[in-house]
């Protein structure tokens, strides 16, 4: 987006899953928020834009090690500039290039030459020795300068963030939000009732049930489970489709009704008997038979631990433990104490040059890690590894909290992501409060951060109980309508409330 609000779009074409088929840089612009699109000379596009109708800023043949995606920015006059790298000749080392629109048309400026070469080809995750372009350079009179990153100022911190929470107020806020969600369950055609989008709400209903004075939330979960026939979702290996098992087994622990256990056990037993042999490289959808994206560390591991707890069969525990560390080895960044969403993010950078660490993605992990620690046997040789990972993440999470008590969609560049965001923030509040309640974190140091987070979260709830400021479904930080809500975010809010309630002593 340029300073006048115009949108600039750059892309390359690709003929197959093989990155070696990347070719040609194309361009389009819009001055009406994306309703209509034109070429750089103002001539209109007929949608959809095709390879035949696209405007080409640079013709680059396949087999040139062209990196996707290009980065794009614009100067004060709205003139676009792209940046990416490719090999200028067959067999030559890839080098960065600037492609910019000038009065006479498009021009290409090559960056510094490199002596080391490599080939960008094949499907799946790539680990090239040089990073994608994180932002474009644009030409100003007489000099190259970094493109301005447009953003709006963060909302001022809400009043009363340091106010001590009372247990009765926490419970009342939880009930108001839960009741709103129960009255506004999403259309099954949009959010499947067995899907991951709704499962955290089911899980959190039982957390609310444990502190509520009556059993109406437990009864609501039983009704929802009966409607689902206590079945997991569709794909047998996919972590997302195992998430709802956690709610089923939580209910089974209370009711001891075999129908709540049997379908989930059948699903996990199938996976044990037919383990996936796909590689951990990020190459969806096949790779999603394993836990190759960080969200999976909330979705599946606790389901496996709950099954171990319900049956006593150590095979479930061993499977969970093995897969957890396979994922962590790939996606955890020790330098930041945070997880990459998946391997496609390994070499991406925020405008400030720091790694892209998505808030809700890390929120899934941090909340999942707290839930794993609650069930994982303390005498297991790997228990200290989970504990140390939790402590490393807690340190990073605390450092990323903003002055208004919340966290931003991109954890390490709040200026580029000014939006208040509640789903990741609620998961962090839950994980931090859980750590204080279980004596893993220092109460004097961490409880004030939890208090600020909870008070900020309650400021994002409308009077009738709708939780807002939820980033929609995605895989990385981006802007969104502040009025958005989702059942999984309501689940995160209720989980946070359940631990904040305990932090207050329940009074």
CB neighbours (10 Å) of residue 344?
18
Rg for the chain, CA atoms, rounded: 25
Catalytic residue status for 295: yes
Measured CA to CA, the distance from residue 329 to residue 275 in angstroms comes to: 19
Measured CA to CA, the distance from residue 488 to residue 297 in angstroms comes to: 15
Write down the H helix ranges in 53-166: none
The CA-based angle 268-271-273, given to 5 degrees, is: 110
Pairing of strands 80-86, 7-13: unpaired
**Looking at residue 237, what DSSP letter applies?**
S
3-state secondary structure of 65: coil
Ordered strands of the 71-74 beta sheet: 71-74, 80-86, 95-102, 105-110
3-state secondary structure of 193: coil
- Selection from 436, 439, 462, 442 nearest residue 165 by Cα: 436
DSSP bridge pairs for 139: 144
Residue 331 to residues 81, 250, 292, 299, 361, Cα–Cα distance (Å): 32, 29, 8, 16, 11
Measured CA to CA, the distance from residue 75 to residue 147 in angstroms comes to: 7
CB neighbours (10 Å) of residue 496?
30
Helices (H) and strands (E) in the chain, counts: 13, 11
Tokens of 255: 């009711």
Under a CB-based contact definition with an 8 Å cutoff, are residues 498 and 434 in contact?
no
**Is residue 48 reached through a cis peptide bond, with omega within 30 degrees of 0 on the bond before it?**
yes
CB neighbours (10 Å) of residue 255?
15
Under a CB-based contact definition with an 8 Å cutoff, are residues 498 and 204 in contact?
yes
Helix (H) or strand (E) holding 299: helix 296-299
Residue 22 phi, psi (nearest 5): -55, 135
Q: Is 40 exposed, middle or buried (0-12, 13-18, 19+ CB in 10 A)?
A: middle
Helix (H) or strand (E) holding 82: strand 80-86
Under a CB-based contact definition with an 8 Å cutoff, are residues 424 and 360 in contact?
yes
Residue 362 phi, psi (nearest 5): -70, -30
Q: Which member of 209, 250, 295, 404 is catalytic?
A: 295
Catalytic residues: 295
């Amino acid at each position: 987006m340029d300073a006048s609000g115009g949108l600039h779009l750059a892309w390359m074409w690709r003929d197959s899953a093989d990155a070696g088929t990347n070719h040609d840089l194309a361009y389009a612009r819009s001055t009406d928020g994306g309703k209509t699109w034109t070429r750089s000379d103002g001539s209109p596009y007929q949608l959809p834009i095709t390879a035949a109708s696209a405007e080409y800023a640079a013709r680059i043949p396949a087999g040139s090690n062209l990196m996707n995606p290009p980065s794009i920015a614009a100067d004060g006059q709205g003139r676009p500039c792209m940046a990416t790298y490719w090999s200028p000749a067959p067999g030559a080392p890839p080098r960065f290039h600037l492609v910019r629109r000038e009065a006479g048309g498009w021009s290409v400026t090559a960056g510094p030459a490199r002596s080391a070469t490599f080939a960008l080809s094949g499907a799946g995750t790539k680990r090239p020795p040089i990073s994608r372009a994180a932002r474009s350079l644009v030409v100003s009179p007489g000099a190259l300068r970094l493109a301005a990153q447009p953003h709006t100022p963060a909302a001022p911190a809400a009043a009363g963030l340091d106010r001590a929470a009372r247990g009765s107020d926490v419970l009342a806020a939880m009930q108001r939000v839960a009741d709103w969600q129960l009255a506004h369950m999403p259309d099954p055609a949009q959010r499947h009732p067995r899907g991951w989008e709704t499962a955290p709400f089911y899980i959190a209903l039982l957390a609310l049930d444990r502190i509520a004075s009556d059993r109406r939330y437990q009864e609501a979960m039983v009704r929802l489970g009966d409607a689902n026939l206590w079945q997991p979702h569709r794909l047998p290996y996919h972590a997302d489709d195992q998430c709802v098992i956690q709610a089923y087994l939580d209910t089974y622990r209370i009711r001891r009704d075999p129908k709540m256990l049997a379908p989930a056990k059948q699903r996990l037993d199938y996976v044990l008997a037919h383990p996936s042999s796909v590689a951990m490289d990020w190459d969806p959808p096949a790779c999603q038979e394993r836990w190759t994206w960080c969200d999976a560390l909330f979705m599946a591991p606790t389901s496996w631990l709950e099954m171990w707890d319900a049956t006593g069969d150590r095979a479930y525990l061993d499977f969970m433990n093995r897969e957890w560390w396979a994922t962590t080895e790939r996606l955890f960044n020790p330098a930041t104490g945070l997880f990459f969403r998946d391997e496609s993010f390994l070499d991406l950078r925020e405008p400030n040059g720091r790694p892209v660490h998505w808030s809700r993605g890390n929120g899934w992990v941090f909340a999942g890690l707290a839930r794993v620690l609650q069930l994982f046997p303390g005498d297991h040789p790997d228990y200290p590894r989970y504990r140390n990972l939790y402590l490393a993440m807690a340190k990073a999470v605390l450092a990323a909290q903003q002055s208004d008590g919340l966290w931003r969609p991109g954890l390490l560049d709040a200026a580029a992501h000014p939006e208040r965001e509640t789903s990741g923030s609620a998961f962090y509040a839950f994980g931090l409060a859980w750590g204080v309640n279980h004596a893993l974190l220092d109460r004097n140091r961490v409880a004030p951060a939890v208090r600020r987070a909870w008070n900020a979260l309650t400021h994002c709830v409308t009077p009738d109980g709708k939780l807002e400021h939820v980033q929609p479904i995605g895989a990385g930080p981006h802007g969104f309508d502040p009025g958005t809500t989702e059942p999984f975010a309501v689940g995160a809010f209720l989980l946070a409330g359940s631990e904040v309630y305990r932090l207050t002593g329940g009074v």
